[in-house]
Amino acid sequence: MTNITNESSSDLSALIGGENVSLVQFLLDLGISLSSESNPDRLLEKIVDESITLTNADGCTLYLSDDSGSLHFTISKNISMKICLGGVTGDPVSMPPVPRDPSFVSAYAAINKKIVNVPDVYKSTEFDFTGPKKYDEENCYCTKSMLVAPLTNYEGEVLGVMQLVNAKDPETNQVIAFDKKFDTLVHSLASFAAVAISNVRMIGEIRRRVAMLREANLDAIYSLAMAAEAKDDDTGDHVRRIQLYSIALAKKAGFTDEKADEIGYSSIMHDVGKISVPDMVLKKPGKLTDGEFDVMKAHTEAGSKILPATSFFVVARDIARHHHERWDGNGYPDGLKRGKIPIEARIVAITDVFDALTHKRAYKKAWTFEEAITEMKRCSGTHFDPRLMEIWEELYTSGELNRIFDSWHDS
């Protein structure tokens, strides 16, 4: 007769007996192991593998529920048949979902949140086993015993079902019914698995939302930068070059790819404060008066105030405010000196000046790369961080600056 239980894992120690108390430690270690897995597919494979090991079953299949309650085949392994379907390493497979119909044993377990222990599938009259029997016939297999457990998380939500088949006698290797003690063991394992799946899904959702927020922030960055550049009669190519120059210099200086990328997209907003500068000053073709230059210099403070006060824009605010500081302390707006200038701003100070020198402006012709590098080397240790200037010269010598210039050259 089919055994249907809803036992609590708190009875675990009493159920398995003192001689097997190591199973308690096994489950605790398993719970920790499952909770530490962040890859969804690897997690499902680990659940299947550990379930087979724990119960000495021949096979295990996981079904995950959709919003309608239907159970979708996700991954299956069978030792004697030497197959693995789904997951990371398994062969792809397409199977129809198990409907929310309690005549099917998996659906029954999910609907009622109960473990079902079937000693002999072919003698059972309580469930519709047409599917498993057809599978057996097609694959020359014999599904005898079955243990089905719902994957119920800490909120009581059933995420899916774990279906174990054909328990084996550890001495004879003959197929036997699943010992009743496995009901509680598998219940505990299924609970750990459900919690781990919930956590992985939560992490995935958080990462998705973070990515969406990052894209929204980047859209804001480009919009602000384009507005500032349009006001300055420049093209978007300028900020793209600054971005790529800054990434290249940051990487060469030893920053990680992630940090270099942050410096790159933050550099795009270095002149966002120019939105606040009157056109008569910003677009003046001749030399600025002292008063006009004071107005122009204010774009650094304006930029840092325009950018949102969130962690995503911390580097961008530093760059906007400090990219006109000088290594010798004679820059603006705060007169910072040497290492007190944020290194991100020191990087953009170099890339911004280089791009300005090598492009035509209303008040000057474009310099050659060689002319620009020569002049900037002369200012190393006064205007620019000398170590960064050495690295910048290496990028020029290697041809990297030319490559970036050619890829984003004004048409």
Catalytic residue numbers, as ranges:
274
Contacts 24+ apart (CB under 8 A), 102-109: 103/127, 103/128, 104/128, 104/131, 105/129, 105/146, 105/148, 105/163, 106/63, 106/71, 106/148, 106/161, 106/163, 107/69, 107/71, 108/148, 109/148, 109/149, 109/150, 109/161
Q: What share of the chain is helix, strand, coil (3-state, %, to 5)?
A: 55, 15, 30
- The two structure tokens encoding residue 151: 């994957």
Give CA separation, 375 vs 62, 81, 358, 385, 389, in Å: 67, 74, 12, 14, 11
Beta bridge partners of 60: 77, 164
- Contact, 117 vs 3, CB < 8 A? yes
Q: What phi, psi does 61 have (nearest 5°)? A: -130, 140
- Contact, 323 vs 313, CB < 8 A? no
- Contact, 4 vs 117, CB < 8 A? yes
